[in-house]
Structure 1
Amino acid sequence: MEKFDCAIVGGGMVGAATALSLSQLGLTVALIEKYQPKDFAPEQDFDLRVSAISLASQHLLEQLNAWQQIARWRVCPYRRLGVWELQSSYTEFNADEINQTHLGHIVENRLIQLSLWQQIEKTPRVKLMCPDAVISFEQNEDCLALTLESEKQLQVKVLIAADGANSQIRQKAGIGLTGWDYAQDAMLINVKTETSQQDITWQQFFPTGPVAMLPMPGKHASLVWYHQKQELARLSQLTNEQLTNEINQHFPPRLGQVQVVDKGAFSLTRRHANQYVKGRVILLGDAAHTINPLAGQGVNLGFKDVKALQTVFAKAIGEGQAWHASDTLANYEKARRYDNLLMMSTMDAFYSAFSNDNPLLKAVRNFGLMAANKAPLLKSKALAYACGV
């Protein structure tokens, strides 16, 4: 039986970042993942799955020595964020307002994971077990015993679930959820653009859901089209040429002419675990919470979880306490639960406010956007919070 301080199930962005973060504290880590990310080549098309990486998330990736490689591959920085429903209510957030050079970067999820894996391969304290999965585990008073698909037996002090929204570890641990499915779905669309690389990401709201543009390197962009489930099912069946025509009809003129390269649709759900810690099982990232993607905060919340767990463990180790004690694990949940809930509730408020076609509510929300432009202090504070600075 192999012994480790921690076992992490899920080697995606959050799980891989957790493995490296905890190894920096001197802990030994088993990282268990079913699938290996595909290698990168510059000539590859852009992946559909991208993230708006905040400044705080960038700083974490720099700390883990992963950002440097990501930046050498391909990223797109953005300095501005535009939001509007009516053109008269257009509101723009700018990096200058918080004394930063940029607000964040649009990055393909796979490249983040791949760079983290490259660092893991250089880290003797992390053992990557791929392909593999946890079949069962048993919690004892001072450890957990894990059985893997490979028939390996592991003994660890804590088991960390970073295995996504449908977390098997969360289910096996008996941790419940609260949440719901939203009435809308979302479509991700990779396009070639007539305009050169832009430094702005924008979102226009409609009663049927917003449309958004995320800039990508070169003459490319990632579009997000929120709509009712039935309409997105129809759009998903269109050819790329037909979908291009639909985009040109329904997206704002500032997008310019585009050509669809790839597309895919996914459902929108809100899920929040009833607890982040149960015994020696800890939930991070989507295993603990999934959020409406309106502001692109999903993976950034996951990286905040990673940083909080590292900070809590480091404090306990520094004070000569047991980093795996129940009180220490509880401090992680205290550090993250309220912040995650606040961001989830804020996104739900935006979703509810802008998905209603009531004329009075429409006037109120557009007035609110216009008022934001006239309250620079409040605007900059909200922007700094979203960026994690």
Structure 2
Amino acid sequence: MTQAYDIVVVGAGMVGAALATGLGQDGFRVAVVDRAPAPGFDPDTAPDIRVSALSAGTERYLQRLGAWPQISAMRSTRYRRLAVWDETRHPLSTLLPRQLTEVEFDAANLDCAHLGHIVENSVTQRALWQAAEAEPGVTVLAGRGVSALEQDPDIATLTLDDGQRLQAQLVVGADGGQSRVRELAGIGIARNQYQQQAMVISARYRGPVADITWQGFYPSGPRAFLPLHSAGEQYPDESWASLVWYDAPAELARLKALTNTELLAEIQRSFPPQLPALTHIEARASFPIARQHATRYFSGRVVLAGDAAHTINPLAGQGVNLGFQDAQCLQDQLREARRAGLDLASEPWLRRYEQLRRPANRRMMLAMDLFYHLFSNRIPPVHLLRNLGLGAARALPLARNQVTRYAMGLDDQLPAALKKLTERLPGLGRL
């Protein structure tokens, strides 16, 4: 049996579900295909170990899609401040007072209520599935994968693993870093594996819900604190948090082998002193981190969005925000193509999407790699440079606020000085 749609979105994660919802609201007939079942939510359970820092720009987008009220009704944590500092001790550290290398970004300085929200990925995804399913033109096909793709001059045909066939003018690959759609379309990928991995820990701490997220930078990688919600009546005076520990694979393997009690003590000993007293570890997981960028964003009747097109170092949690920006941009281009009466896979519109999104995604990749190169070493001149940079950021509120607005998704350009630095990073020209 073959079913016809305007667009088939493969991947109903956060980006794919958002794109499908937006396209449905624009009147397109859309099918969304995903291997996983619909995400669930139980308010009495511990938080999902996978969380994202959703920017203010992303929040506005999710409001337009109608998903933000559902997110707020489940769980989200607003943060007003973001702090970074250098934890590497070195003789050159004495050249600058320590307080000058600690920088705090505050929403109050931008006349904003907050910088963003920390939200469990499953909460965001569930809210977007609900928004997609509420659109009459959107069909969600859960629990199914893609086994084949055929592209003809006038149509694309997807064969699912249950034998069902879907036809559409355009297929969107939003199926993650290991995209099956990207592979079937013959689109290559440039990949750079980092030496570090990341371990994520879901934990409870003693104290109220914090309004600050922070990262302390060590030569082995940053260690971050992301506040979540209250632990509820069962654990009075306690709150949930997500901790991130970047380090060498061998060190993370050692940490993962520890008991919860041993890991708790190791975290309190190894994290910055700003970490509140932990009371319980609920879950832990580690994953490799890599930067990758598709050699092109479209081929024939296939176009990529989100992690299928690009993944970045997760230092500042900007990956999903970039994916949402892809979704908004692609939706705009498809709406214009239809308004012009053109094929949805018309090359000028897909090329315009790539021309808009590739430089923006590359800029964020370069910015994250700049932090990676500056902070992941003990080389004395580089150590002094990053301390001077943090001191300058503290002393120059205008520049600091420009960086903050860029990270919040309010501005689409890096500050000029940071842009010049990223252009000089080694080995990034092929991005």
C-alpha separation in 2, matches of 1:138 and 1:256: 55
> Does the residue aligned with 2:143 lie in a helix, a strand or coil?
coil
Q: Is 1:244 matched with 2:264? A: yes
* Corresponding residue number in structure 2 for 1:7: 8
Cα separation, 1, equivalents of 2:343 and 2:401:
40
Distance in 2 of aligned mates of 1:48 and 1:351: 24
2:337·2:346 contact (CA, 8 Å) conserved in 1?
A: no
Deviating more after overlay: 31-40 vs 208-217: 31-40
Taking the aligned partners of 1:262 and 1:37, their CA distance within structure 2 comes to 22
1:82 partner amino acid: A
Candidates 178, 181, 186, aligned match of 1:169: 181
Q: What code does the residue aligned with 2:270 have? A: H
Deviation at 1:325, TM superposition (A): 1.0
Letter in structure 1 aligned against 2:125: Q
Instruction: Indicate yes or no: 2:389 matched with 1:377.
Output: no
**SS state of the match for residue 184, structure 1?**
strand
Q: Is the 8 A contact 1:37 1:110 kept in 2?
A: no
Tell me by how many angstroms 1:360 deviates.
1.8
Q: What SS class does the counterpart of residue 32 from structure 2 fall into?
A: strand
Q: In the aligned structure 2, how far is the partner of 1:129 from the partner of 1:39?
A: 16
Give the TM-score taking structure 1 as reference length.
Answer: 0.98
Where in structure 1 are there 5+ consecutive unaligned residues? none
Question: Deviation of residue 215 (structure 1)?
Answer: 0.5
Of residues 37-46 and 161-170 in structure 1, the stretch that sits farther from structure 2 once superposed is 37-46
Q: Which of 345, 348, 365 is equivalent to 1:327?
A: 348
1:319 Cα shift?
Answer: 4.1
Pairing 1:234–2:274 present? no
CA distance in 2, matches of 1:323, 1:152: 23
Shift of residue 36, structure 1, vs aligned partner: 1.4
Task: Give the unaligned 5+ runs of structure 2.
Answer: 88-97, 231-238, 411-431
Distance 2:38 2:390 in 1: 41
Q: In 1, distance between residues paired with 2:379 and 2:351?
A: 44
Q: Give yes or no for the alignment of 1:306 onto 2:327.
A: yes
Letter in 2 for 1:341: R
Local SS of the residue matching 1:217: strand
How far off is 1:252 after superposition?
Answer: 1.3
Query: Which sits farther off after the overlay, 207-216 or 34-43?
Result: 34-43
CA contact (8 A) 2:24 2:132 kept: no
Equivalent residue, structure 1, for 2:155? 143
Counterpart Cα distance in 1 of 2:319 and 2:107: 21
Q: CA deviation at 1:148?
A: 1.1
Q: Percent identity?
A: 44
Corresponding residue of 1:267: 288
Distance in 1, Cα, partners of 2:191 & 2:156: 29
Aligned-residue CA RMSD in angstroms? 1.1
2:244 is aligned, of 224, 228, 240, to 224
Shift of 1:45: 0.6
- The answer to whether the Cα contact below 8 Å between 1:57 and 1:303 also exists between their aligned partners in 2 is yes
Q: For 1:4 and 1:77, how far apart are their aligned partners in 2?
A: 38
Give, in angstroms, the shift of residue 315 of structure 1.
Answer: 2.7
Q: Which residue identity does 2:79 align to in structure 1?
A: Y
Deviation, 1:320, is 4.3
- Equivalent residue for 2:135, pick from 110, 114, 123: 123
User: How far apart, CA to CA, are the structure 1 residues paired with 2:317 and 2:14?
Assistant: 15
Q: Which amino acid in 1 is paired with 2:266?
A: E
| Residue 364 of structure 1: aligned partner | 385
Between the aligned partners of 1:140 and 1:239, the Cα distance in structure 2 is 56
Tell me which moved more, 317-326 or 78-87: 317-326
Question: Structure 1 residue 367: deviation in Å?
Answer: 0.9
Match of 1:199 in 2: 211
- Contact 2:38/2:142 (CA < 8 Å) preserved in 1? no
In the TM superposition, residue 385 of structure 1 has moved relative to its aligned partner by: 1.1
Q: What is the CA–CA distance in structure 2 between the aligned matches of 1:241 and 1:54, rounded to whole Å?
A: 34
Instruction: Give 1:142 shift.
Output: 1.4
The answer to whether structure 1 residue 133 and structure 2 residue 126 are counterparts is no
The secondary structure found in structure 2 opposite 1:254 is coil
Structure 1 residue 134 displacement after superposition: 1.4
Contact 2:6 2:30 in 1 (8 A): yes
Q: Which secondary structure does the structure 2 equivalent of 1:21 belong to?
A: helix
Contact 2:171 2:301 in 1 (8 A): yes
- How far does the alpha carbon of each residue in 1:8-57 deviate from its partner, in whole angstroms, 9 at most, with x for none? 11111111011011112211111001111442111011110000000111
Distance 2:407 2:341 in 1: 34
Structure 2 Cα separation of the partners of residues 309 and 57 of structure 1: 15
Find the counterpart in structure 2 of residue 113 from structure 1: 125
> In structure 1, what is the Cα distance between the partners aligned to 2:301 and 2:57?
28
Distance 1:8 1:125 in 2: 13
1:40-96 CA-partner distances (Å, limit 9, x unpaired): 111011110000000111111111111101101110000000000054300000112
Q: State which drifts further: 178-187 or 251-260.
A: 251-260
Is 1:3–1:156's contact at 8 Å kept on the other side of the alignment?
yes
Count the aligned residue pairs.
Answer: 389
Separation in 1, partners of 2:395, 2:335: 42
| TM-score, structure 2 as length reference | 0.88
Q: Secondary structure at the match of 1:101?
A: coil
- Give the Å deviation of 1:97: 2.1
Q: Equivalents in 1 of 2:224, 2:204: separation in Å?
A: 15
